[in-house]
Structure 1
């Protein structure tokens, strides 16, 4: 027998989903809206008016906290990877299709591990946001590629199909307008990441199942039976 054994039963599929607390600046408590085909990974938190569409993948240890700035919108087939944080400033929003949002993330977007998306901001369709990148108080249009560690802030708008280099700080519109176009390699990579995470969302949903205990945690019955038999 392996020396690495599970001790008792673990809530290995736990996550926290809750309405926001009532405050003076956010007086309405709203529970997240999550499409049944979306997958929420273990140890993630989703709080407040967060609207998650179909086939979205939320990675482990992610925090989507619409308790100050609100609401958040995450469109179809987008992936929010491990350790990503979404939060927004109160009373600061952008408008999309005549509705206001603290954070709006479009279709088939990838937000890579450790990134910070802080509202008010918009991330356009088919955009890739790299590891540990920061987007705050900005608009990123469709099909952009933000490389790892880049910072976008100060109210700038990144035009469509632009490449933001590794570690770049884009804090003026002049810098944003001077960015080069996305390469075919970056575009292909971004599409591949989206495709992989759509498949992961579907596969994890099948593995984890929809069964929940009375404590609110989800579990897979086969895994629990395997633990019983060890």
Structure 2
């Protein structure tokens, strides 16, 4: 009897660990509350936060323990088929933005981008389509061209523009345009690695929706 009760309790509580999805707080620098706009096919994992004026397009996968916080720099945009892995932080500086067409963003992330485990993406920054941002790397005040590969523990900052299809080596500090322009093309093996990461992660949103279903608990966690 006691064993059965414990089992039911565990199952009930497991559904209470929802993501925190909320409008931004009202402040002197962001006086209007805006709620995230998340496509129904995207999946936001448990223990993750999405706050403020954030647009998340179709089939985006946000893994557990991600912080997407548009409460200072704003707005954020995350394009289709992008995956944002465990422990990633997205945040931006107030009134500092980059352009994408006619719009201006604190953080713009394109389509089929991978932001790998533990990376920090801090606005103002622009990350074009098919970019790989590696484990524990930092992108801050930078523009990263289409198809570029930022390796683990690398830093890209100081207003640099990474040309399309360039490879940032592990642990590199790309803080000048001279360094950015000298980068080599992405090696074939790394292109294949990025392709495989994308292939795997693009299956997760639909699969996780099936796993958890559409029933959400009323345990008080904002969604």
Shorter-chain TM-score bucket reads over 0.9
Q: Secondary structure at the match of 1:21?
A: coil
Whether 2:133 is the aligned partner of 1:129: answer yes
Q: Structure 2, unaligned stretches of length 5 or more?
A: none
Tell me the TM-score normalised to structure 2 length: 0.93
Q: Secondary structure at the match of 2:198?
A: helix
Indicate the RMSD between aligned Cα atoms, in angstroms. 1.7
Report the CA distance shift for 1:43/1:180 in structure 2 as closer, same or farther (over 3 A). Answer: same
208, 212, 225: which is aligned to 2:212?
208
Deviations 1:93-126 (A, max 9, x none): 0000110000000000000000000000011100
Aligned to 2:178: 174
Q: Secondary structure at the match of 1:196?
A: helix
Aligned to 2:97: 93
Could you tell me how far 1:10 is from its partner in structure 2?
1.9
Aligned to 1:120: 124
101, 105, 112: which is aligned to 2:109?
105
Whether 2:167 is the aligned partner of 1:163: answer yes
Q: Structure 1, unaligned stretches of length 5 or more?
A: 219-230
Tell me the TM-score normalised to structure 1 length: 0.90
How many correspondences in the alignment? 216
Aligned to 2:77: 73
Higher relative contact order (CA 8 A, sep 6+): 2
Could you tell me how far 1:6 is from its partner in structure 2?
8.4
Q: Within 1, Cα distance between the matches of 2:188 and 2:83?
A: 21
Could you tell me how far 1:217 is from its partner in structure 2?
5.5
Aligned to 1:199: 203
Q: Within 2, Cα distance between the matches of 1:23 and 1:200?
A: 36
Do the aligned partners of 1:11 and 1:217 also contact (CA within 8 Å) in 2? no
- What does 1:15-94 correspond to in 2, within 5 Å? 15-94=19-98
Report the CA distance shift for 1:7/1:210 in structure 2 as closer, same or farther (over 3 A). Answer: closer
Q: Within 2, Cα distance between the matches of 1:98 and 1:188?
A: 34
Q: Secondary structure at the match of 1:10?
A: helix
Q: Within 1, Cα distance between the matches of 2:8 and 2:164?
A: 49
